[in-house]
A and B are shown apart, each in its own frame.
Chain A
Amino acid sequence: MSAGDYLRFLRAVKGGPTPWEVETATGVAAGDYRQIEQRYRSFGDEQDLTRLAPYFGVAPEDLIERHGWSRKDFSATLVEVQEADREIRFQLRNGEAIEGKVAWSDLGAAMLTLKDGQQIVIQRHFVDRWELL
């Protein structure tokens, strides 16, 4: 999970404050939080993440280590798996693991077709890790 996705998840846990409210509370420059969360590439710097970490109640290292990750990596993996008709395992934030083939993926979610044929739509921000099978 990238820092952006992780912040999106943390924001949900915190009760869904708006990006503007997060920026006001943490002192992050206006507009930067939204970009950290939504940009496909890494955005912001360690100083911003260090300011955000106490607001969300996590260690700064937890955010900083994800800063180099990118939503584009996840997107590329999803496309690759879908085109190759391969299976992938999602490790979710709640510790649950889901395996299946990617039926589609878009801006906010991805659909997996499980082995029993059931389809499940997983929100991207809830995927913590992924692994090709």
Chain B
Amino acid sequence: MEQDLWQIRRRKRMTIEELARNANIHPSLIKAYELGQRPIPAADLEKLAKALMVEPWEIKELSDPPPRGPSRYGGSESSSFGDEVPRQRYGTRETSAPRYDNDRPRFETERPERPRFDAERSSRFDSEAPRFDSDTPRPRYGSDAPRPRFDSEGGSRFGESSNRYGDSNNRYGDSGSRYGDSGSRYSSDSSRSRYGSSDASRSPRYDDGRRGYSSDIRDRDRGRDRDRDRGVRPMGRPLRKGRVQRRPQAGPARPSQLEHLKALVIRLELNGDEVLRMAGKPLSMLNRKEAASLLTMCQDMLAERKPPRPKGKRQRPYLPESVDEHELIYLTEVQMGKQDLHLTLFNGDKISGKLLGFSPYALTLTQPGGQELTVQKLAIAYYQLDRQAAEEAAGEPA
């Protein structure tokens, strides 16, 4: 069954720009095709079909314009339906309202067996005007036919319960009804209770008929369509008040998370059963959120097991050579023991004396004559205690 170009494009979730790029047709031309301003020539039809991955015969040569789409198409004052019926600008109330024949709605009497809306469309184009099949002569919104006045709730049912149009009991098909009459049932209380009572809370609001959609609803729908055509992901939009935004389902745990978890399990010395009990499932079946939660749990456990760090002590990562306290401890013992220290310098000179003080870069000795001498460590090849003193020191109980 052939469909309008814009219908297929939207079904394929493509923007006009994407379609134009894939089909190598200028976007403005595609807009003209979608608006029905120009029939699609055979050459372009094939290009578009190929880009949309459909058969050429599935695309209508002359599309019906989309039910709305005012700002994005910029509107068109020309009409493809006949000069006597001026095309309304999209987005104005006239295009949002159902289009009917001058005299009577044909869909009711001629094709009652075919619902005008399928469920998908009625849900997608909620609160839109009803659309008609291509074989059904397009009802005209004639100038002599008074326009229906939508009250705040009655008009909402157009987009939601299309089957009511085919309902033998509904009053749309009543030949006695005239939509724009002063006594129209659309605006009466009875119609409100009939068409809008159960889903009134979900129904879009209509104004008093002079403006059609209330401006905020119209702006919202325009924005939604504009986003769809631009390829904007719905998740990218800010959360609207009163709406529950669907959150994406967490993906499987990242390999790095699993690696980290395994390392923590080893450090915590947990066995397989304990891990399974903590995780509730094998590690390989965790999703990202669960893995992150388990990581936090393991890190907390690890933190609890660590001894508290001494206050005031400089904290540095432990690397075998990043600590300098071994030499410090040794020199402290030598200093406290007042033992003779024998230094050998890089040039072979030897210096002996009692260690008076030291820093990370220098040693200060008191030489036998009482003279103090500071030697840079850079100049030192090695140093050692006096052998006898060292033996005595080694023989002393700790």
Contact B327 A16 (CB under 8 A): no
Say how far A21's CB is from chain B's closest CB, in angstroms.
14
Task: Give the number of residues in B that approach A within 8 Å (Cβ atoms).
Answer: 27
B324 (CB) vs chain A CBs: closest residue: A107
Comparing B28-36, B69-77, B383-391, the segment that makes contact with chain A is: B383-391
Is A24 in the interface zone, CB < 8 Å from B?
no
Contacts of A126 in B (CB 8 A): 346, 380-382
Contact A108 B327 (CB under 8 A): yes
Contact B330 A121 (CB under 8 A): yes
B383 (CB) vs chain A CBs: closest residue: A121
Comparing B98-106, B120-128, B199-207, B371-379, the segment that makes contact with chain A is: B371-379
Is A93 in the interface zone, CB < 8 Å from B?
yes
B385 (CB) vs chain A CBs: closest residue: A119
Q: How far is the CA of A109 from the CA of B377 in the complex (A)?
A: 10
Chain A at the B interface: mostly helix, strand, loop or mixed? Answer: mixed
Say how far A16's CB is from chain B's closest CB, in angstroms.
5
Q: How far is the CA of A20 from the CA of B327 in the complex (A)?
A: 27
Q: How far is the CA of A126 from the CA of B324 in the complex (A)?
A: 17
Q: Provided the pairs A9-B346, A106-B327, A107-B324 are in contact, do residues A122 and B360 lie with their beta carbons within 8 angstroms?
A: no
Q: How far is the CA of A133 from the CA of B378 in the complex (A)?
A: 28
Comparing B4-12, B181-189, B238-246, B315-323, the segment that makes contact with chain A is: B315-323
The one of A16, A76, A94, A118 that contacts B381, using a Cβ cutoff of 8 Å: A94
Is the interface on chain A under 10, 10 to 19, 20 to 34, or 35 or more residues? 20 to 34
A72 (CB) vs chain B CBs: closest residue: B321
Is B325 in the interface zone, CB < 8 Å from A?
yes
Q: Provided the pairs A108-B360, A117-B394, A123-B381 are in contact, do residues A75 and B321 lie with their beta carbons within 8 angstroms?
A: yes
Q: Provided the pairs A16-B376, A79-B320, A108-B377 are in contact, do residues A119 and B384 lie with their beta carbons within 8 angstroms?
A: yes
Q: A residues bordering B, Cβ < 8 Å?
A: 8-9, 11-13, 16, 40, 71-72, 75-76, 78-79, 92-94, 98, 104-109, 111, 117-123, 125-126
Q: List 26 A-B pairs, Cβ < 8 Å.
A: A11-B378, A16-B379, A40-B319, A72-B321, A75-B319, A76-B320, A92-B382, A94-B348, A94-B381, A104-B326, A106-B327, A107-B323, A107-B324, A108-B324, A108-B327, A108-B377, A109-B326, A109-B327, A117-B394, A119-B384, A119-B385, A120-B382, A121-B382, A121-B383, A122-B381, A126-B381
Sorted from nearest, which 6 A-B pairs have the closest CB atoms? A12-B378, A104-B326, A107-B324, A75-B321, A122-B382, A106-B326
Q: B residues bordering A, Cβ < 8 Å?
A: 319-327, 330, 346, 348, 360, 376-385, 387, 390-391, 394
